[in-house]
Each structure stands twice: as C-alpha cells, then as structure tokens.
Amino acid sequence: MKLYKIFFLLLCSVSLKAQTAIKGVVKDLETQEPLEAVSIYIEAKNTGVISDASGKFNISINNFPVKISFSHIGYESLEINLTKKPKQDLTIFLSKTIQILPEAIVSSRRPIDTLFQEPYSVTDYEFYNEYILVLAYKNVKSKYSLILLDENGERLDELNLSEKKPEALHKSCLGKIHLLTALNAHEISVYDQAIALEPKIDKALFNAVLKPCIVQADEFLVFKKYYYQGLALQYVGLKPDSTQQEIITIVDERHIDWLLEDMGLFSKNKGEYMSKKIHPDVLQVRQMPRPQSAELEVFYPKVYAPIVKKKDSLIVFNHIGGNINIFHENNSTQIPVNYHKDKKWMKKIYYDSYDDRAFTAFHSQWGEIIREINLEDGSLGPGIELDRAFIEKPKLKEGYIYFIHRNNKMENQNRMLHKMPLD
C-alpha cells in the first residue's frame, strides 16, 4: 500500500505541471521519406494531431507517463510509452503493412452535412423525440444557450442560459434529458416546440441516483459499478422491490494482478477477485475508487464493455472475454468477436437504439472507418469512411451518425454539429 501511495502521489504531482510540447517527425522505415497525414493520438486524453507535409508533428502533453499511437493507412500502427520529456525531437519510423485491407472493405466517403454552426460553438447535444437539443455558446462561454432544432437543423426555439453556468446535457436511463450545472440538474421539457426547464434537482442527488443508471430493461433498471479502480465492471439490475440481480461481472485479471503487484499485495490474494473470501487489504483495493488521472490508462486501462438494450434483450460488448453477451429473459448466449484485437481498433461502440444496429470504429488516415457489427455472428460489414479526425460525442439515430467537430484549418474554429448517413 505504501508503494501505491508513492505512485499515486507522483501521478498527482506530475499532473500539476504545465503542458509539455512533444515534437517530432514521422518517416517511412524503408524509404526514409517523411509521411504526411499520420494520425498521432493520445487515447487517455481523446485528442491528437496529424503530421504535416514534411511529416512533422507537435502535440501537447499534460503530464507523464503517456502512451502515444501513430497510425496511417498502409502502415503498421505504432505505440510508444514516454515516462518523461525526450531530450530531443522524436523520429518515428512506420513500416508498410504486408497486407492492406481489400478495397471492398472501405466504401466511398459519405456526404457530411453540417446541422448547426456559426456563430455558435456546440459543446453538447441530445435527441429529444424528433428534435435535437443543442447546448452551445456564442463568442464567450458566459453566453450559453439551449437550442431546439428539427431533424434538418432548423432552429425552432432558443433559451438563454447566461445565469445557469451549464456544464453538459445528460440523458438518463429513463429517457429524460437533464441540463447539468455546477450545483444542480434541470429536467428539460419541450411543449409546442418551446423549451422549458423543470425545477432543479440537487447535483449530488442526481449523481448518486440517476447518473449511474445505464439502461431501463423490462423488469429492472441496470446500474454499473466499477471495482479495482476500473479493472472490474459489474452490471446489476435493480427491481421495483429493491432486490438486485447480477447481470454480468467482467474482470481484467491480468491488469489487477499488475496493480496488486505494484501495491505489494499480490501474494496476499488467495481467491477469486470478486469473492467474499479475500484478504482485507485486497478487499480495500477492490472498493477503492479510480484516481482522477488519465495517465492510468497507460498501465491500467479501464474495462470497456458497454451495455445496450435491443427489444427484450440486453447486449454486453465484453471485450475482456472476447464475446458479445446477449441476455434474454430466461437464457443467455455468447457470440465470439475478434475485432477488438485489431491494432487500429478505437475502443468505440456505436449503437443505434432506433434501428437496433451496432457499429465499431478503426483508425484511418483521415479519421476513422466505421463498420457494422453483425449481432448474429459477430462479423463486420463493409467499412464506411468518416474523414474527420478526433470527432466528439458521436451518437447514432435512424441510420445517421451525428458528431461534434472542430475544423482547425478554418479561421472560425467553433465546434459544429454534423451528421453522416451510414447506409
């Protein structure tokens, strides 16, 4: 435990430092020529840059250690781990892949429509029946507005939020949309195409009761809880009579082993990690919350296994077990998958609850390639090129992917809301 405290304090102290610029150039290993449009990505921060025509890049790091990935179509992806700032600029060499994806996998690019743009910068949005609620600000963040759009992006109403200091929108498992501020949450209603805010709810109460609820199933509400600082995930169904039903528990045993070894507790573990009969020190680690440090993703990546509802079933994308787990009323089935083993996989699942379709994404030269997951056999459909790097808050509805994107090449760098067809 003492070793862990030292490790945690080091992480905290590093996080207080100013941003550090990491510079370098990316080249072809064989020809030594610079590579343009290489995607340089920091997964823990969900941010990145693209190399210029000379193969050069400049990316900002908040703190160390950090994992940086380099990817380019036709080349093997590369990941490097930095524990401190390099003494000189980096030179990264990428080797060409032996086998390039067949042409049939990637289809032609689909048209991308801009739904909402200047003079606003969009920070969040949610679907409200046939409408779209957009949280945006004009010029400065003190001038926030909540805007109601139709499906074509036409503005129907606007509510000034200058006194609310909003932070985000949140759609609960009950389908209700809330405006979150620093202290409160307000349910949002729409009457005759006009926005209304319901009486406030205390933010702490909202975070404790509504936010952990993920899905509303037919007989219970599904809640999730992490253990071992995010290395184990459990989904539990809460019934109306307050009884609980375990749905699935996903444990990343390899990384938990490493975590306990770093804490000097590995030898004290004598049973299964989720068992009641474990050493008190290990039990304490199991209940310990995850520290607020993005750098933990480098050594201890959080379990990513989203759950969705499809008609009368619950579907869990269990990437630790390599399965799609489908839970019906009286039985369950497993479908093996291997897409998550691809080095270019982006650790994303997109689910269209309106059409009951699932997609995943892979790094590409200009953005990402989206492929539909067959929920019958786990295979992937043809690829769809989304030529925007570092999109934010992607959501699916009725065959379209919606997302926020900032075009850094334009003079006006406001975040805009876009949509692209998937069919």
Instruction: Please indicate, yes or no, if residue 33 is contained in any of the structural domains.
Output: yes
Residue 17 domain-assigned (yes or no):
yes
Nearest alpha-carbon partner for 70 in 395, 365, 382:
365
- Whether 239 is in a domain gets the answer no
Of 186, 205, 224, the one marking the end of a domain is 205
Same domain, 136 and 64: no
Residues 143 and 85 reside in one and the same domain? no
Q: Which residues contact 90 (CB under 8 A, 6 or more apart)?
A: 22, 23, 24, 25, 80
Q: Other CB atoms closer than 10 Å to residue 32's CB: what's the count?
A: 9
Residue 402 lies in a domain: no
Q: Is the pLDDT of residue 44 over 80?
A: no
**Residue 65 pLDDT exceeds 70:** yes
pTM: 0.75
Q: Using 50, 70 and 90 to split pLDDT, how confident is the model at 209?
A: confident
Q: Per the domain annotation, does 372 fall within a domain?
A: no
Residue 179 counted as domain residue: yes
pLDDT of residue 141: 66
Is it the case that residue 138 has pLDDT exceeding 90? Answer: no
CATH code at position 33: 2.60.40.1120
Same domain, yes or no: 144 and 96: no
**Which of 62, 140, 166, 152 is CA-nearest to residue 115?**
152
27 & 78 share domain: yes
- The pLDDT assigned to 5 comes to 38
For residue 390, pLDDT over 60 is answered with: yes
Q: Are residues 134 and 95 both part of a single domain?
A: no
Residue where one domain finishes, among candidates 205, 231, 260: 205
Looking at the fold, whether 135 and 84 belong to one and the same domain comes out as: no
Summarize the confidence of residues 201-213 as an average pLDDT.
Answer: 88
Output 170 or 60, whichever has higher pLDDT: 170
Q: Which pLDDT score, from 0 to 100, does residue 104 have?
A: 41
- At 17 the pLDDT is 43
**Comparing 258-262, 354-358, 376-380, 395-399, which segment has the lowest mean pLDDT?**
258-262
Asked if residue 157 has pLDDT above 60, the reply is yes
Please tell me the predicted confidence (pLDDT) of residue 270: 63
User: What is the structure's pLDDT at 6?
Assistant: 35
Instruction: Tell me which residue range forms the domain holding 177.
Output: 129-205
Q: What is the pLDDT of residue 38?
A: 86
Closest-CA residue to 339 (of 308, 377, 387, 283): 377
Q: Is residue 62 part of a domain?
A: yes
Place of tokens 């020190």: 281
pLDDT (0 to 100) of residue 408: 62
pLDDT at position 98: 59
Instruction: Return mean pLDDT, the chain.
Output: 85
Q: 174 lies in a domain?
A: yes
Do residues 74 and 160 both lie within one domain?
A: no
pLDDT at 295: 62
Under a CB-based contact definition with an 8 Å cutoff, are residues 320 and 252 in contact?
yes
Interval 103-121: pLDDT, tens: 344 445 789 999 887 688 9
Give the per-residue pLDDT at 412: 53
**In Å, how far are 77, 95, 370, 378, 384 from 360, measured between CA atoms?**
18, 25, 6, 11, 11
* Range in 119-133, 198-212, 267-281 with the lowest mean pLDDT: 267-281
What pLDDT sits at residue 155?
93
Q: What is the total count of domains within the chain?
A: 2
> Do 95 and 135 reside in the same domain of the chain?
no
pLDDT exceeds cutoff 70 at 271: no
- Tell me the C-alpha distance between 418 and 126, whole Å: 13
Same domain (yes/no): 53, 135? no
Looking at the predicted structure, is the pLDDT value of residue 90 above 60?
yes
User: Are 241 and 200 within 8 A, CB to CB?
Assistant: no
For residue 103, the model assigns a pLDDT of: 39
Interval 272-324: pLDDT, tens: 888 888 888 888 999 988 887 656 777 888 999 999 999 889 999 999 999 99
C-alpha span between 122 and 402 (Å, rounded): 12
At which of 205, 221, 247 does a domain end? 205
Within this chain, do residues 8 and 61 fall inside the same structural domain, yes or no?
yes
